[in-house]
Amino acid sequence: MLRAGRETAGLRGAWSKLSEERGVTMVVAVSVLMVLGILVAGVSAAALDLNQSSSTDRGSKRALAAAEAGLSAATFRVNHASNSCSTAPLAQTDCGPFTETLADGSSYSNYVSPVLGTSELDSCVGVPVTAPSGQAVEQRCITATGTAGGVVRRLQIRIGAFTNRPYFPVGLLGQDYVRVGCAIGGGTAYIKSDIGSNGEFCAPQPGGVNNLTVCGTIYLASGGTYSGGIEGCPTNPSPFPPAGHEKFETPDIGCVFDDSNCSTPALGMGNTASVNHNAKLVPLLWSMRCGQLVDASGKAIDWGSSLPATPPPGVRLSGDRELDLRSCSAGASVVLPPGTYNFCRLTLPNSATLGAQGAATGAAPVNILIDSPYRPGSRCGVENGGTSVAQRCSRRPAANKAWNCADGQLDFGSGPSLTSGDSPAEPESFMFYIYGNPPSKSEISAGATCPKDGVSSQMTCPPPQHTVVVANAGVLEAGLVAPYSVFTMNNVGNFVGAVNAQAIDVINSFKFTYDPDLAFLGTPTNSRLYYRTAWGECRRAPVDGGQRSGC
């Protein structure tokens, strides 16, 4: 009995203790719910924040894309400019805004500056663009603001356009044709350059150059023809692009000789027939004791006679701007001082080297202009008494009924070398401009008859095609612009530069490498093609009211 009573009392004590803990489950449950609520709230807040961040990021990217679209649209308008500010800014202040809403709901607005003046070149993002001597650059500034989902991004670019049409859009350009190995001969030809023609490209034929390798692309204008066989190189195994390249334009080379009639001078050399550096050659030839010089009375200098150490006053080149070096020994080397030279005739002895001092020495380029009696105003041949092209070129022995106009000729002799004075070669420092005899530019009209001075016989006009021949040359480092001449190269060992001629003939062995630095030289043109040269992001709004500010 006593034991049972004790057990009953123990159970009552345990139940009493348990009764004191009633409601704990509720507290625990509420605590768990509270913790879960806090976690859910935190996750929800994070999700909302992430969603907002994602929305902002998405809006930022859309706004950036819209601003980029504004830059591209403005560049397109400038490159397709009319005289209206609504399509391209040609005024003296920033034009705009031009606004457009895109398909995804974002929008842009852009402003485009006029051509930046010298004092404004630093008012746009990036570094002002500079170009080699002889090339001009127009620069503009475009600012675009993109908006998407309440987010604003503002961008700015600098665009630049070369204002010249290049003389050398490709390394070898023959307006009428380019023929490599189409004549009798043997050897190999390696051309590391693009090639272009409006007419014919003729590759090796039986009996011509045995192997022709072209590391470049051959461009033929619509209607151009191709014949023969050709090998590509590993980097460009198929040198032919789709047919129908745009027509290559003949440069207005007259602007080089006399830029007074050009709205924008090609090289800024003025009238080179009267203002040139030919006089620099007198002390050079005097020290070499060779070349054709005359004294003040016009009498030829006798190099075998006793002469003073320096040339007396009045000594000049013979003829009418004639540089004749045939009295110099074979293999003579003549390094021309920097400058612009205008010759009616240039004649070299065999194996002669004609060169420039080179840009590496800090010297300015050497520009050699071969003038022609067919260029109005050239005065080539005037010393013969001619007052017109027909007279200047026909004052020859009466028995000779053929055209025989020595003026305007370039005779390199056999085995010449033309050196730019730099290593590696920089042919843009050594340029030849050869006027030739373009019938359309001449005082002589095609199909007319030209009276031969002193005789009754007539001569058919126009005269024969002007030609320039380089034979057995070791090194050529120069650019040659001869759009009215047939340029023939026979056995040329290493030619670094470019050629723009009416036609190009290559005979026997030939190695040619195009120098892309020559692409910067060209004739003035009203056509502009702007390219992006710098990019930057700006503050969301201008800082001083100017559309270009804050970048």
Taking the C-alpha atoms of 231, 236, 242 and 244 in order, what is their torsion angle to the nearest 10 degrees?
-80
Per-residue three-class SS string for 470-499: EEEEEEEEEEEEEEEEEEEEEEEEEEEEEE
500-515 burial, b for 16+ CB within 10 Å, e for fewer? bbbbbbbbbbbbbbbb
pLDDT above 60 (res 260): yes
Task: Check if the beta carbon of residue 520 is closer than 8 Å to that of residue 503.
Answer: no
What is the pLDDT of the chain when averaged over all its residues? 78
pLDDT tens digits for range 369-426: 998 877 777 777 655 444 555 444 544 444 444 444 555 678 888 888 888 877 788 8
Q: Residue 256: count other Cβ atoms within 10 Å of its Cβ.
A: 26
Task: Check if the beta carbon of residue 194 is closer than 8 Å to that of residue 214.
Answer: no
Percent helix, strand and coil across the chain, each to the nearest 5: 20, 35, 45
The pLDDT value given to residue 84: 40
Task: Check if the beta carbon of residue 518 is closer than 8 Å to that of residue 469.
Answer: no
Burial class of 74 by CB neighbour count within 10 A (0 to 12, 13 to 18, 19+): buried
pLDDT above 80 (res 492): yes
d(CA 455, CA 15): 152
d(CA 516, CA 509): 23
pLDDT tens digits for range 147-205: 998 899 999 999 988 767 788 889 999 999 999 887 655 668 899 999 999 999 988 76
With a CB cutoff of 8 Å and minimum separation 6, the contacts of 100 are: 69, 70, 73, 107, 108
Residue type, 474: G
Residue type, 409: Q
Q: Residue 239: count other Cβ atoms within 10 Å of its Cβ.
A: 19
Angle, CA of 64, 102 and 532, to the nearest 5°: 50
Whole-number percent of the chain with pLDDT over 70: 75
Dump the DSSP string for 183-210.
SS--SEEEEES-EEESSEEE---TTS-S
In this structure, what token pair is assigned to residue 195?
């090639």
Tell me the pairing of strands 345-347 and 322-324: parallel
> pTM, whole model, 2 decimals?
0.67
